[in-house]
Structure 1
Amino acid sequence: MYKHVLVAVAFDAEHDPERSLQAAAVLAPAEARVTLLHVKEAVPSYAISYIPEDYDQALNQAIRDQLSEMATRFANAQPVLLEGHSGRTILEWAEENEVDCIVIASHRPGLQDYLLGSTAGRIVGHARCSVHVVR
C-alpha cells in the first residue's frame, strides 16, 4: 500500500469529501501519513474591496477546523491549507512532500472541462505518483 496519501479536499456543492476520505482509509494502511489538503484560490483583485477585512481570517479558520475534524479519522493525519491555483499547488506540494498517492474527487466532465481542463484532469495528467479519482 501507500506510505503518504494526499486527499485533496474541495468545499463546494459538487464534491463531497466523505467519499474521498473513505477511499483514503482503504488505500492508506494504519501507519501511513495522510494529508488533507485544501487549496484556496486567491480572491481576484477587483473583488478585494468588497470583502470585509476579517472575512479571510475567519474563512481560513473555518477551513482549518473542518480539515482538522476530518483528520481525526486517521492515526497519522495532518490538515494543510494553502493558497494558489488548485492544480499546480496540489502537484507541487505532492512532489515536495513525497506523496505516493493522491485521492481527488471529480465531477462529471462538461464541455468547459474539455476546453479548459478540470483540477482532477490536471492532477491525473501531471502527477508523478498514483492518483485515485472518486466520482
Structure 2
Amino acid sequence: MFNKILLAIDLNEPKGAARAAAAVQRMVGQEPAEVHVINVVPDMGMAIVGAAFAADHSKTMKREVGEALAEWAKDALPGLEPTLHVQQGTIYDMILRSANDLDVDAIVVGAHRPELRDYLMGPNAARVVRHARQSVFVVR
C-alpha cells in the first residue's frame, strides 16, 4: 500500500515515539516499504538567543541527536534499516518539507494526549495533518 514511509518522532517523548514505531512495524510487516525516520531539533529562535551559544553548537547538537536517533532506531525498529534524518527548524514545517523532498507516500506522527488548548491533537501533528499531501497516520 505504501512504498515509502516517513516516521516523525520526538526523542524527548520516548513512549510516543515507541508507539509510532510500533505502528510503522505493523505497516511494514504487512507490505515491505522504505522507512525514513526524522527527528527535528527546534530552532533557537531569535538571533540574540543563538548568540549565547558557541558557534558550532547547532552542528554539535545535530550530531548528538543523530547518534541518539541511531541508538533509538536499533531498539525501536528491529529488523528494519531505516534512513535517519535530523533536521533543524520548525517541527511541522521540517516534517512536511522532508516528506515532500523524500517523496514519501505516508507520514506517521505521534501526538500527545490532548489538552484543552490543543483540542484534538498536538499543534505539530495537527499542522502536518492539515497541510500534508501524503496520507498521515496519527498515533496516540
- The corresponding residue for 2:34 is 33
- The corresponding residue for 1:17 is 17
- The corresponding residue for 1:47 is 49
Q: Deviations over 1:60-119 (max 9, x none)?
A: 1221112222333243311001112111221121122121111111112334435xx700
TM-score computed with the length of structure 1 as normaliser: 0.83
- The corresponding residue for 1:134 is 139
Question: How many pairs does the alignment contain?
Answer: 133
Detail structure 1 runs of 4+ shifted over 6 Å in the superposition: none
TM-score computed with the length of structure 2 as normaliser: 0.80
Give ranges in structure 1 of 5+ residues lacking alignment: none
Please report how far the alpha carbon of residue 15 of structure 1 lies from its aligned counterpart in structure 2 after TM superposition: 5.8
Return closer, same or farther for 1:54/1:82 CA change in 2, 3 Å cut-off: same
Return closer, same or farther for 1:80/1:14 CA change in 2, 3 Å cut-off: closer
Specify the SS of the correspondent of 1:39: strand
1:92 to 89, 97, 100: 97
Specify the SS of the correspondent of 1:76: coil
Return closer, same or farther for 1:3/1:70 CA change in 2, 3 Å cut-off: farther
CA RMSD of aligned residues (A): 2.2
CA contact (8 A) 2:91 2:124 kept: yes
